[in-house]
Amino acid sequence: MRLNAISLANYFIDIASSNRMNIYQIGLMKRVYFTHGFCLAILNKSALDPRFDVVEAWKNGPVIPSVYHSFKHFKDNNITEKSFFVTDIKPDGEIVTETPILEDIDVKKIAEFVWRRYLEVSDFDLVQLTHRKGTPWFLCYKEGTNNPIPDLYTELFYKKLIKK
């Protein structure tokens, strides 16, 4: 399966579960975005699928709408199930699904790094990190709109972050 935001989000759910920790929508969203940023800066590739994943500047920071919509039904509760896609509906009405799985070893390593790096950081503080002056979100956010955050902004920001 192609690399995409949902497979990455599902991987974080697996990590949280294996560590017997809770993960909530805001924390999940920020970790997916941070992984995407580090992938752009380190691997020179996106962790998202441009066919349906885009990063937008929302009130609470960078959001990937495909991840938001896949997990919004959990609201402020711990996310306990991975997301899936409906791939087919058989003539007898049987629904066939597929759970996106992260297979890219390099992206997994970066996701694990992001998990460890932000393990003790609260979801509120993750939001605050994305709101700092000079962040891609800061450059793109306009109240009342969900503006795209170009990958170039994210890549340059994370390259600069790595140099520090």
Provide the 10 A C-beta neighbour count for residue 30.
23
Provide the 10 A C-beta neighbour count for residue 125.
12
Mean pLDDT for the stretch of residues 103-131: 97
> Which residue range is the domain that position 129 belongs to?
5-163
pLDDT class for 118, splitting at 50, 70, 90?
very high
pLDDT class for 147, splitting at 50, 70, 90?
very high
Average pLDDT over the chain, rounded to whole?
96
57 is written with which tokens? 């500047």
CB 25 within 8 A of CB 72: yes
Which has the closest alpha carbon to 46: 66, 32, 63, 28?
A: 32
Q: What residues are paired with 89 via a beta bridge?
A: 95
Provide the 10 A C-beta neighbour count for residue 104.
18
**For the chain, percent of residues with pLDDT exceeding 70:** 99
Lookup result for tokens 């109240």: 143
CB 35 within 8 A of CB 111: yes
User: How many structural domains compose the chain?
Assistant: 1
pLDDT 10s digits, 39-52: 999 999 999 999 98
Mean pLDDT for the stretch of residues 47-61: 95
Mean pLDDT for the stretch of residues 112-121: 97
122 is written with which tokens? 């609260």
Lookup result for tokens 């940023």: 37
